[in-house]
Amino acid sequence: MIRLQTKAIVCALRSHGEHGAVVRLMTPDDGLQAAYVRGARGRRMRPVLMAGNVVQASLSSRTDAQLPQASVELVHSRGPLLSEPMLAAAIEWATVLTATALPEGQAYPPLYDALEGLLDAIEAAPSAVGWGAALVRYELLLLAELGFGLDLDSCVVTGTNDDLVAVSPKSGRAVSAAEAEPYAEKLLPLPPFVRAGGQGSWPEIAQGLELSGHFLARDLLTDRSKPILEARQRLVDRLRRAGGLA
């Protein structure tokens, strides 16, 4: 008998049988875990298993090859946020990206912490400008954890780490202002918050989403996972309208 008791973030729900569902949970120490939850679509469990909620989960299975069964208890609900279209779109994208991109059963503690921080920021910030930068950093971290990280430490041409303003869409390496100027139209912008941390302005957040979105679409979300980019585009469109950039 294999057992796992853990805190987790609900990332996805797929109907299975008449009343149950397969739930994908992001855990701190055991990565993405899929489990069958009886009555998941019932009146009592539906509010518990909303994307973005934090739950305490108990998973058990007889063998490694068997889909675990899980019982879950609500720890923190983000259900009230789902009535706000912008917040609902952000939570939907962050969780569906996690559930789609990560292999099951591999630990990614930095990603769990970053996802938890992003969802907390979405919940707490008075506007999307307060969490837009965190979303970009989460996407870039996910790329890095899966082997598609960008090299933003120094200029690909000169090797210096000063005045880095752009990224090559081919190599994923940073470019300094002087070297980028002749090729500005062919390079991706590198907003300051990506390297320095902190929040970004609306235009900077838009630049960051362009940057991370390019590499997500090119390197990670291909073939069968490509359709989820539609959820991201809906979110990006909302963010651009909110920032007056549409």
Judging by beta carbons within 10 Å of its beta carbon (0-12, 13-18, 19+), is residue 38 exposed, middle or buried?
Answer: middle
Residue 64 has a pLDDT of: 75
CB 21 within 8 A of CB 14: yes
Strands 188-189 and 173-176: unpaired
Decide which of 1.50.10.20, 1.10.275.10, 2.40.50.140, 3.40.605.10 is the CATH code for 2-79: 2.40.50.140
When pLDDT is cut at 50, 70 and 90, the band that residue 71 belongs to is very high
Q: Residue 148's closest CA among 187, 101, 206, 186?
A: 101
CB 17 within 8 A of CB 43: no
* pLDDT above 90 for 207: yes
Ranges of H-type helices in the chain: 85-101, 109-124, 132-145, 177-180, 192-196, 202-215, 229-242
213-239 burial code (b ≥16 CB/10 A, e <16): bebbeeebbeeeeeebbebbeebbebb
- For 194, left (φ over 0), alpha (ψ -120 to 50), or beta? alpha
Chain centroid offset of residue 212 CA: 11
- Give pTM, 2 decimals: 0.95
Q: Which helix (H) or strand (E) holds 10?
A: strand 2-16
| Radius of gyration of the chain from its Cα atoms, rounded to whole angstroms | 19
Residue 2 has a pLDDT of: 75
* Stretch(es) of the chain classified as CATH 2.40.50.140: 2-79
Mean pLDDT, residues 99-121: 97
Mean pLDDT, residues 119-141: 96
Range with the lowest mean pLDDT among 63-67, 113-117, 213-217, 242-246?
Answer: 63-67
C-alpha separations of 124 from 15, 120, 137, 236 in Å: 31, 6, 18, 20
Q: Residue 189's closest CA among 177, 171, 201?
A: 177
When pLDDT is cut at 50, 70 and 90, the band that residue 1 belongs to is low
* pLDDT above 90 for 146: yes
Sequence-distant (6+) residues with CB within 8 A of 25 are 6, 8, 9, 10, 11, 32, 33, 34, 35, 55, 57, 70
pLDDT (tens digit per residue) in 16-68: 877 899 999 999 999 999 999 999 988 899 999 999 999 999 999 887 778 99
* pLDDT above 90 for 179: yes
